[in-house]
Amino acid sequence: MCKAMAKVPELDQQKRGSEKRRIKVHMKEIGFHWLEEADRSFRSIKRAVLENMCHGGDPARQYHLACDASGFAYGGVLFQLTDQLVGTVMSSKLMEAMRIIQFISKKFLDAETRYHTTEQEALVIVRCLEETRWLVNCWKCFSRRDGL
């Protein structure tokens, strides 16, 4: 059995009048079992991510950026298509040729959560291009989004 330290919230039992209960957080040693089956699953997932999802960019291929926004956060995926000509537009038929280079995921600032959907979608494209600028600089980049 392995041991780990974890923060465990605990309610303060002292309640005065209409005061709400205060939450105290302290470190507590907890035990868990890391069995062989869990280790095999972890290694399998790690291998799948490394072999299928973590590719460096190939400067000879064009980059694609897919991004989306929700009411409180946004995300994007920078990828390239293997064995496709420059100018190829991404479609569901090309999913097997997709090689992911970078994931982007961030929360909107409080004020940005009140933006209109179109403004949020445009902001996501700008932010995702800022995040990937170091890699896609001087390249034509195709952006896919659902709101514009």
Quick check: is 58 in a domain?
no
What share of residues in the chain are helix, strand, coil (percent, to 5)? 30, 35, 35
Rounded CA Rg of the chain: 22
| Same structural domain, 80 and 42 | no
| Same structural domain, 10 and 70 | no
Quick check: is 40 in a domain?
yes
| Same structural domain, 82 and 127 | yes
Could you give the percent of the chain with pLDDT greater than 90? 23
CA dihedral over 137, 141, 147, 148, signed as positive or negative: positive
- Paired sense of beta strands 2-11 and 23-32, if any: antiparallel
Domain of 37?
2-52
Quick check: is 132 in a domain?
yes
C-alpha span between 81 and 133 (Å, rounded):
19
Q: Report the domain count for the chain.
A: 2
What's the average model confidence in pLDDT over 114-121? 92
Half-sphere exposure of 83 (CA within 13 A, CB side): 4
| Same structural domain, 34 and 75 | no
Q: Are 74 and 66 in contact (CB under 8 A)?
A: no
| Same structural domain, 73 and 109 | yes
Q: Which comes out higher in pLDDT, residue 100 or 125? A: 125
C-alpha span between 57 and 61 (Å, rounded):
8
Coil, helix or strand for 49? Answer: helix
| Same structural domain, 70 and 14 | no
| Same structural domain, 29 and 84 | no
| Same structural domain, 39 and 67 | no
| Same structural domain, 68 and 137 | yes
List pLDDT tens digits, range 54-107: 667 787 888 888 899 998 999 998 888 888 887 788 888 888 788 888 889 999
CATH of the domain at 134: 3.10.20.370
C-alpha span between 80 and 97 (Å, rounded):
8
| Same structural domain, 67 and 37 | no
Task: Name residue 43's beta-bridge partners.
Answer: none
Over the chain, what is the mean pLDDT?
A: 78
